[in-house]
Amino acid sequence: MGLPSAVIAYVLLKPVDETMRVSQSGVRSAILVTVLVVFLLTCALTSLTTKGVQYLPTMMSDVVNVQFAWHFVPPVALSIIAIVLLSSQCRSVLDLWLLVALAAWLFDALMLNNLITRFSLAWYVSRVFGLLGASFIFSVLLSETTVLYARLARSNMLLERERDNKLMNMEAMSAAIAHELKQPLTGIIGLGSATLRFLGQTPPNLARAESGVKKIIVAGQEITKILDNMRALFGRAKIAKDQIDVNELVVDALRALDSDFKSHRIAVSVNLTSELPPIMAHKVQLQEVIINLVHNAIEAMDLVDDDHRMLKFETQLSADDAITITVEDTGPGFDPEKSDAIFEAFVTTKPQGMGLGLAICQRIVEQHGGQLSASPGKPRGAIFRITLPRRD
């Protein structure tokens, strides 16, 4: 009678359980109290059926024949009531397994009532069935519940990780915007200060002031492009792509950086494969990748002697119909074991770095269906390879 009674109590308490928010300590206390109550109840019932047997109704007319079905009517009645109540509120796998257990329990009670002769073969078979049936059902129930809790815990971990990733993307986006806007804004401030000096001269140097204002306008337009690129980089909309010549892309980037090469006394070696097929790409974004890689190389080579500063560019058409752009410097290089970590956001070896340049470069290349990889140079330095497919 214990199982159907417990199921009836479980069904009646379900609305209360659904509105309760139990703490972890409350769960432990409930488990300990439940175990203690069951232990005390078992001791009490054992004492009743031994020392207090005279207070119980007579069930047997002799050793093997039952006098009245006290063992049959209450369990069957309670099991039927529990099945009806649980069927009306079956909402979980636990409820389903309890229905299976009650059905087996009811079948065991019915079979035992028809096999009322004790110590016969059928009587022993019914006892073995009851033992094995209960053990199997509750073992599977425990296993299923454990699996469901494990899946729930794993789902919660994935949800937390997704939330952290979204927060990281928001932080990365804001930091990336600040990272990309810092250089043109610094240029605008410098040009604005220079323009004010030209206008303050006697007489005002209008020609140079006009030139400074034009450069400020160009820098402002560059900021607009950067913001558009950041929105395309972190947004879900597809970026507009055109057919571009990779060699021309590299040459334009080198021309834009020519003054940096001269000021840092860096020799440039260019080996471009002629007649490369065009690719579908966003020209400004890929130029940003090359410029970012070059800036990293320049900063790295500032740490070595002037006569060992060499920057090599190479383009190739690989066997799998992809185009590779290689940027190699002669700086101090990096630890080969950390070649994958250098592309993670906010990972940097620079004292003043933010660790976003390579992360943004990798994201841009991946949005073009390509791959950005890094390897140490020989005898020193770093080699970055941009592999781009010919078709989107």
Distance CA 71, CA 102 (A): 16
Amino acid in position 268: V
The closest of 198, 173, 368, 382 to 296, measured between CA atoms, is: 382
Can you give the pLDDT of all 392 residues of the chain as single tens digits? 888 898 999 888 876 655 556 666 778 888 999 999 999 999 999 999 999 888 887 777 777 777 666 667 788 888 899 999 988 887 777 788 888 888 887 877 776 665 567 777 877 877 787 788 778 877 887 887 888 888 888 888 888 777 666 655 566 566 666 666 777 788 788 888 888 888 888 888 888 888 888 888 888 877 777 777 666 655 555 666 788 888 998 898 888 888 888 888 888 999 998 888 888 888 878 888 888 888 888 888 888 776 678 899 999 988 777 899 999 998 888 777 666 667 665 445 554 444 456 777 888 888 888 888 888 888 788 899 999 887 65
Same domain, 254 and 195: no
pLDDT of residue 114: 59
Same domain, 357 and 299: yes
Amino acid in position 153: A
Report if residue 138 sits inside a domain: no
Identify the domain containing residue 210 by its residue range. 166-234
Domain boundary, last residue among 119, 137, 157: 119
Domain boundary, last residue among 234, 257, 280: 234
Q: Strands, E, within 221-321: which ranges?
A: 242-244, 267-272, 279-281, 310-317
Report if residue 101 sits inside a domain: yes
The closest of 188, 191, 253, 260 to 220, measured between CA atoms, is: 188
How many C-beta neighbours within 10 Å does residue 37 have?
Answer: 10
Same domain, 228 and 322: no
Same domain, 385 and 284: yes
Amino acid in position 61: S
Q: How many domains does the chain have?
A: 3
Same domain, 175 and 104: no
Q: Which CATH number characterizes residue 277's domain?
A: 3.30.565.10
Same domain, 255 and 230: no
Same domain, 203 and 275: no
Report if residue 149 sits inside a domain: no
Same domain, 355 and 320: yes
Same domain, 250 and 206: no
Domain boundary, last residue among 188, 208, 234: 234
Same domain, 283 and 310: yes
Report if residue 130 sits inside a domain: no
Amino acid in position 311: L
DSSP 338: G
DSSP 363: H
pLDDT of residue 353: 45
Mapped onto helix, strand or coil, the DSSP state of residue 98 is helix
